[in-house]
Structure 1
Amino acid sequence: MLPLGDVIRRHGISFHSYADDTQLYIAVSPDDSGPIETLFNCISDIKSWMAVNFLQLNQDKTEVLVIGPEGQREKILPKLRDFKPAQSVKNLGVIFDSELNFIPHIKNITKIGFYHLKNIARVRPFLSQASTEVLMHAFISCRLDYCNALLSGLPKKNISNLQLLQNAAARVLTRTRGRAHITPVLQSLHWLPVRFRIDFKVLLLVFKCLNGLAPSYLADLFLPYRPSRALRSSGSALLCVPKARTK
């Protein structure tokens, strides 16, 4: 019996598998339907493999997310035929959307965070500040920090709700009035604002990648800058900037 991964690899498609969740990744353009046909063939082989092994693909839970400009997405979606298009999908607790602005993910974090904060506020009079801070880290800070490197580069307005959640948590913890300026409160707690927490996470990942503390699939993405001739920047530990296409 071939593992499912071998079935997918035969088609040259990238994939991730987590328990009973398998994700397939292809790069596609409106003018080239080849990758889509490859995807169809791959899924057909997956169904055949599952049938041989007394399994069945759950068609109702099979979703497709097309990421890219809206005009390009509208040209690609009709070619996907039987697949159920989704505006957003959850991947290991992170909600990815078609435009990668992470607004649905941020709304979800904010909703859950304020729910827990409301419950903490109810019992705050019976708790010490140290005990309350433990609850804040367990229910609020962990959600603000989880996979927050993905939010790097987003406009400030996109992450403003996360900052409001952190501000509210700091006020509940320190019993600060709503009209009081929040920056001194965050400083007294040694809490970085949300956008700086994101930058810190990115810097931490880069440091680990450059010092052999990160997995190879991350570390291999970093290429040291080595000029072909002697320059003053040769020993500056600079990195090569990857090429990117925005159109």
Structure 2
Amino acid sequence: MQTHISFIIKTRFFHLRRIASIRRYLTHDACVKLVVSLIFSRLDYCNSLLAGLPASSIHGLQRVQNAAARLTLRKTKRDHITPLLRSLHWLPVNTRISYKLSTLVYKCLNDSAPDLEYLQSSLDLYTQPSNRPLCSAADPLRLHIPRSKLASAGQRAFPSAGPSVWNSLPLELCQSPSLDAFKSRLKTQFFP
């Protein structure tokens, strides 16, 4: 994945330099739309495949997002990035990955996307062993996390990464009535 990530970083910084050259002619809203369409569309494309990667691999993508925020708000490298991301309502890259995984799991569990049947078949609700009661029995939407033979790659696959992120969410969030309500509550939950 490192080759893929390096290519994304290189091309997105190229596009950021191009946007920076015309930034003085753009309004704030136009710049946000341009950055979202050219930078974030590529950062978010298949980013759920990056789940479980080391922070050192994700750091380069976060640098791209930070540069995009500074360019959009006309700030310097010396400005702290967290308030800038918060003012733009942009989640950090590692949180965006968790957001996307959580949204995919919600769609699979609620049949919101019929084209995700192959993913639905990989998710199983957790069943309690019959010989002893567990505290997790009170959580009806808890998912079973399968054991994997490969410690790194197996835990990054959707059947393991999706339930891991899903099980970390509060129960009231998982029981959201609609996808839009779930996304709104999830972004509130994940926001730094």
Please report the TM-score for the alignment, with normalisation by the length of structure 2.
0.72
User: RMSD of the alignment, in Å?
Assistant: 1.4
Q: Given the superposition, is the C-alpha separation of residues 235 and 216 from structure 1 closer, same or farther in structure 2, using an over 3 Å criterion?
A: farther
Deviations 1:91-141 (A, max 9, x none): xxxxxxxxxxx1111101111101111110011000100000110011001
1:234 aligns with 2:137: yes
1:243 aligns with 2:147: yes
Deviations 1:27-57 (A, max 9, x none): xxxxxxxxxxxxxxxxxxxxxxxxxxxxxxx
**Which aligned segments of 4 or more residues in structure 1 are displaced greater than 6 angstroms?**
none
User: Quick one: distance in 1 between partners of 2:106 and 2:23?
Assistant: 38
User: Quick one: distance in 2 between partners of 1:120 and 1:228?
Assistant: 57
Q: Which amino acid aligns with 2:92?
A: P
Aligned to 1:222: 123
Deviations 1:53-77 (A, max 9, x none): xxxxxxxxxxxxxxxxxxxxxxxxx
- Give the deviation of 1:228 after TM superposition: 4.2
Count of residue pairs the alignment pairs up: 146
Aligned to 1:212: 111
Of 36, 48, 53, which aligns to 1:149?
Answer: 48
- Give the deviation of 1:243 after TM superposition: 2.2
- Give the deviation of 1:239 after TM superposition: 1.4
User: Quick one: distance in 2 between partners of 1:216 and 1:235?
Assistant: 27
**Correspondence 1:116-135 to 2 at 5 A:** 116-135=15-34
Of 64, 70, 81, which aligns to 1:165?
Answer: 64
**Correspondence 1:78-157 to 2 at 5 A:** 102-157=1-56
Q: Percent identity?
A: 43
- Give the deviation of 1:234 after TM superposition: 2.9
Q: Which amino acid aligns with 2:83?
A: P
Q: Which moved more, 1:160-169 or 1:210-219?
A: 210-219
User: Quick one: distance in 1 between partners of 2:62 and 2:136?
Assistant: 38
Aligned to 2:166: none
1:185 aligns with 2:89: no
Q: Which runs of 5+ in 1 are unaligned?
A: 1-101
Aligned to 2:180: none
User: Quick one: distance in 1 between partners of 2:101 and 2:81?
Assistant: 25
More helix per residue: 2
User: Quick one: distance in 2 between partners of 1:240 and 1:156?
Assistant: 26
> Higher Cα Rg: structure 1 or 2?
1
More strand per residue: 1
- Give the deviation of 1:227 after TM superposition: 2.2
- Give the deviation of 1:235 after TM superposition: 4.2
